[in-house]
Amino acid sequence: MLDQLFIYHPMPWSEQDWARASGLPLEDVWFRAADGTRLFGWYVQASAQAPVVLWCHGNAGNITHRLRNLTRLVRLGLSVFLFDYRGYGRSQGQPSETGLYQDAGAAYSYLTNVRKTLPKRLIVFGRSLGSTVAGHLVSERPAAGLILESSFPSVEHMARTHYFGLPAHWLLRARFDLASHLKRVRVPLLIIHGDRDRIVPIGLGRKVYEQANGPKDFYRVFGAGHNDVTMVGGRPYFQRIIQFITRVTYS
């Protein structure tokens, strides 16, 4: 299927002591999606009272490639649940649009049912393809806020951007229509985008912002591309995130 070739790019798991390598108290979490697919993630608790970030990563790699970001968030006093979609890392199965939505729903259920995380203390973060997964989740489940980084309105918009306006999306089954999901989202929203992103141009991030309901904010990271937003953004980037989370979880 063309979706597997063009959309999903998981990397195999590399066995090592990731807790020791990262210096974080990584807690292994195994959980199941509604269709029974066995999934894997890491939970890191900053404190019992800390807001919790449910992290939906992008279309490539696995959770081991997000450890640097994870470390910065935990040091800011945030608890984080970072999980791999089906077919990524140690998670079983094969990725699909419906499957990824199920996986995020299962991660949410783990936090609220097992960890007893209150929705008013829960922030959903989605990056790139994960933005649509996060947006879909918050369109169906309550949360304190939603953060979208390097997001795009739909696969159709991405296809037309990269294939000279041709309807290349017709060849794909996946739609990842974030714009339609955001019509049902009413929680505070922060959209982050690098202004030199050549994979998902900032204009697509602006379209997401324009089509979303308020309250909403757009944070432009000057000089950042698609994969270096956190590095280029540096301290101001993380300060903007913690300011948003503090406002929506402590207000």
pLDDT in tens, 137-157: 999 999 999 999 999 999 887
Point out the catalytic residue in the list 79, 91, 96, 128. Answer: 128
pTM higher than the cut 0.85: yes
What would you measure as the largest C-alpha separation in the chain, in angstroms? 51
pLDDT of residue 173: 63
- Residue 100: HSE in the Cβ half-sphere, 13 Å Cα cutoff: 26
Partners of 30 in the β-ladder: 40
Nearest to 216 by CA among 148, 116, 153: 148
197 is catalytic: yes
Q: Extract the residue ranges of the chain whose pLDDT is less than 50.
A: 5, 164-171
Using CB atoms within 10 A of its CB, is residue 171 exposed (0-12), middle (13-18) or buried (19+)? exposed
Point out the catalytic residue in the list 84, 103, 177, 197. Answer: 197
Q: Indicate the class that CATH gives domain 2-250.
A: alpha beta
pLDDT of residue 219: 98
pLDDT of residue 187: 98
- Residue 137: HSE in the Cβ half-sphere, 13 Å Cα cutoff: 31
pLDDT of residue 202: 97
139 is catalytic: no
Element (H, E) at 190: strand 189-194
195 is catalytic: no
Q: Write out pLDDT tens, residues 59-107.
A: 999 999 999 999 999 999 999 999 999 999 999 999 999 999 999 999 9
